[in-house]
Structure 1
Amino acid sequence: LHRMDISTSMLTGDNPRTAAHLAAAAGIDDVHAELRPEDKATLVERLGRRGRVAMVGDGINDAPALATADVGIAMGAMGADVAIETADVALMGEDLRQLPRTLAHARRARRIMLQSLLLSGAILVVLIPLAAFGVLGLGTVIVTHELAEVLVIANGVRAGRLKASPRPASQEPALQPPATADHQRQPLGAGTRR
């Protein structure tokens, strides 16, 4: 996420010591601990004044912050139903290391979608005047339009494909929080675009 110029903040209800330990292990910039659900939502709103905010969470306590963020991301199929329902995006896995890949895939799909829209628009802008002034016959216009639609569909199929990304050999296992008697599932972080 840092290589993508995204700063990260941890918003958690855990105690500051536990939160600081996990943040240091995960390379998270900013830590906010001992937060209630409404505190998380307020903090996400404040972070939003600096730029766009994506909130990642998996519990009931995360739902207000997920709703407040520009993009709410629910992690894990076992996350609380209210978090999954509130979020804009629900990821099935619980490995935060997949977030950069997911973001890169979404950005790539958006670029391809814009290419398709521009191609479709450009073809219509060219074909309509040529047909209106009789430069091209109706059959030629229809065939050209349909060929362009096939190109747009093929481009859309390309958007759905994931690019293969090699996994580093030295990839560490997912972070596990220190054992505490009152540990609950808490948000895994929120990021703001610089």
Structure 2
Amino acid sequence: LVGSEKSVLGVIAIRDQLRANARKAIEQLHRIGIKQIAMLTDDNRRTAEAIARELELDLVFAELKPEDKAAAVRQLSQTVGHVVMVGDGINDAPALAEATVGVAMGAAGTDVALETADVVLMADDLEKLVYALKLARRNQKVVKQNLFLSAVVIGGLVIGAVSGVFTLPIAVLGHELSEFAVIGNGLRMLRSQDK
């Protein structure tokens, strides 16, 4: 409150500013199948709950010290399984280390957070997290395809060579050619659609 001896002249309010695209990123995370989104913060409970309501977050943990954040990540890991922790400060480093995957926001991240994280997003843009998760899922799919293709080709070549259907040099040539198919399939990752 701002005032004189006789009356109130005005009110000054300070409010935490949300990241520009935070709501959109949260919606996209839900859309791609992220079931639960929690906020771990050292902010006071009232502020944290207001932000959580505005962003429609599932859980909020407030007034946490760094070791409390790490404990919360451990607890979430036990109840929901895999946990991705996104942070940028020195207070986030223990939780980043505890998470299944720790993601540091590179532009604003401290050295400790950047060194502790498994993934560093160089842009200070939460939508890049959505992009990174989509890219990781596509990559996982390509790796599984390549493993299956390799197993089928090698299995067929071994059976064919042992049974005498073709000679060993032909089997080796077939194996080498199949590697080009695996490499070509892997190179599809370079053509990433939504950046």
TM-score range, shorter chain: 0.7 to 0.9
Contact 1:16 1:34 in 2 (8 A): yes
The 2-side partners of 1:109 and 1:155 are apart by 10
Instruction: Give the TM-score taking structure 1 as reference length.
Output: 0.79
Query: Where does the alignment leave 5 or more consecutive residues of structure 2 unmatched?
Result: 1-28
- Residue 107 of structure 1 is matched in structure 2 by 137
Amino acid at match of 1:28: L
Counterpart selection for 1:84 from 94, 114, 138: 114
Contact 1:58 1:79 in 2 (8 A): yes
Amino acid at match of 1:37: P
Larger Rg belongs to: 2
Contact 2:105 2:123 in 1 (8 A): yes
- Higher RCO (CA < 8 A, seq sep 6+): 1
Q: Does 1:49 align with 2:78?
A: yes
Aligned structure 1 segments of 4 or more residues deviating by more than 4 angstroms: none
The 1-side partners of 2:54 and 2:132 are apart by 22
Contact 1:113 1:159 in 2 (8 A): no
Contact 2:89 2:110 in 1 (8 A): yes
Shift of 1:20: 2.4
Q: Deviation string for 1:165-184 (max 9, x for gaps)?
A: 7xxxxxxxxxxxxxxxxxxx
- Residue 59 of structure 1 is matched in structure 2 by 89
> How many percent identity over aligned positions?
50
- Residue 13 of structure 1 is matched in structure 2 by 42
RMSD: 1.6
- Residue 68 of structure 2 is matched in structure 1 by 39
Q: 3-state SS of the aligned residue for 1:55?
A: strand
The 2-side partners of 1:115 and 1:46 are apart by 34
How many residues align structurally? 165
The 1-side partners of 2:56 and 2:187 are apart by 36
Instruction: Give the TM-score taking structure 2 as reference length.
Output: 0.79
- Residue 128 of structure 1 is matched in structure 2 by 158
